[in-house]
Every structure is written in C-alpha cells, then in structure tokens.
Chain A
C-alpha cells in the first residue's frame, strides 16, 4: 500500500482506494502526514480514479491535510473525482479550499 503514496517534486500524490470510509481513513491520513513531514512537500494531490465509494471520512482526510499544509502556503488538489465525489466535495464546501481538476 506504500506504493499509493508518491512524491514528485513538491507534490505528494495519494492514490485513493476503491472505498473510502472511517475504517480506511486513518491509514491514509497517517501515511500522508508521514510523507508530508519526511519529504517536506508542500502540496498534496488526491487521485480518486479508483474510488467507487466515499463517505464523510474522505472529506475529513482532505480537510485535515488542508489544515496541515495551508499555513505553509501548500495546496490540496483532487483529481479524477467522479460526479458523486464532486457532489460530496461541493456539499461540504471543500471546493472553496481544494482545487478540483479533471
């Protein structure tokens, strides 16, 4: 699962799993934080290409990482989010702080 986290330049790329719920979320948050600290990256990109299910735990992952990196000028990106995930991001107002890209 370590291969789901990759550092490219100043970006941490996180490949999100098929299902994102509370059971899966602490693993993702903890690892992302470990990489952010260790590799000293300022931006995080969450890739939802494989994700078929998400609940508010996914919102918590993005919000938590945003709080960690935004004070150092870092940004959070969401890529390959299908219309359902986009809807969750909109409903929680996350589209105002997370850049949603194709």
Chain B
C-alpha cells in the first residue's frame, strides 16, 4: 500500500507533540506495535525539535515541513527546515555533541534517531537549511523475545 502526507507548521515548541502524534496516526494503517510507534514518535520529536531550536534558533515564524510516505511496509519520514543549517554534519551526529549545552540539550538527538529508525540521512550545509530523512520497516520485529 502507498500513501503520502505533507504538512507545514510554525517553529513553535507546542508543535513538537502535534507532529509526532500526526505521524503516529498516519503510520497506524501499517499496524505497528506499540514499541514501533514509540520509536517513531521519539525520532520525529528529535528531528522537529532540532529544526525549531537549532535551525531557527527560537524564531517562531520559521516553517517546519513534515513529509511522510508509506511504501508497502516502510514508512519514510522527512523533516525539513530552511534555517541556519549544519556546518559539519558528521560531528553533529556524534553522541553527546551539542552546540546548546546551556539549554540542557544532551547531544543525543541524532543518536536516538539512528537507534530507533532503520535508516537516517542528514542533508545540510551552512545557510542551506536541514533535511532529515528517516526510514523504518514496520513489522520486522523478531518474534523471539529480545528479553524486554
């Protein structure tokens, strides 16, 4: 089954929960487990939060675009901002790396996206905005328990 959705919203922190709930509702037709929904919500929350606090630096009239596509049993998610961009993507993706320690950031946003999705790609450059592309296959959880 194929299905698409796209939305654009203001770079306001109240929209973080709205965005992850929207994606969770959109993916529900693939019958994901609670675990998979939770993984996706965390990853979306990370990408959208980054667009808001790093991309636009708190300037709330910036726009965040969220695009999702279901292709068979895979959900593709793209989060895009047209903000400041990332000068060194490789460094930004390292665990614990943050440019905003004073804001209680942990530098675990990208590592969580990587851990909870099957695939993560970040396209960015200084002044060029940021696109985060993520993929996750639904329904491939091994049936032998992972020990919880």
B41 touches A53 (CB 8 A): yes
B49 touches A21 (CB 8 A): yes
B residues less than 8 Å from A57 (CB atoms): 49, 104-106
B38 touches A55 (CB 8 A): no
Stretch of B13-21, B67-75, B77-85, B125-133 that contacts chain A? B13-21
Report the number of A-B residue pairs with Cβ-Cβ less than 8 Å. 71
Cβ-neighbour of A23 out of B14, B38, B103, B107 (below 8 A): B14
CA distance A26 to B13 in the complex (A): 11
CA distance A26 to B58 in the complex (A): 14
CA distance A54 to B96 in the complex (A): 17
B38 touches A56 (CB 8 A): no
A residues less than 8 Å from B46 (CB atoms): 55-56
How many residues of chain B have a CB within 8 Å of chain A?
27
Specify which of A56, A83, A84 lies most central, judged by the most chain B CB atoms within 10 Å of its CB: A56
Cβ-neighbour of A22 out of B53, B112, B148 (below 8 A): B53
A61 touches B104 (CB 8 A): yes
Question: CB-defined interface of A1-31 with B at 8 Å, one 1/0 digit per residue?
Answer: 0000000000000000001011101100100
A88: interface (CB < 8 Å): yes
B13 touches A55 (CB 8 A): no
Interface residues of A (CB under 8 A from B): 19, 21-23, 25-26, 29, 53-57, 59-61, 63-64, 83-84, 88, 91-93
Interface residues of B (CB under 8 A from A): 13-14, 16-17, 20, 35, 38, 41-42, 45-46, 49, 52-53, 95-96, 103-109, 111-112, 115, 148
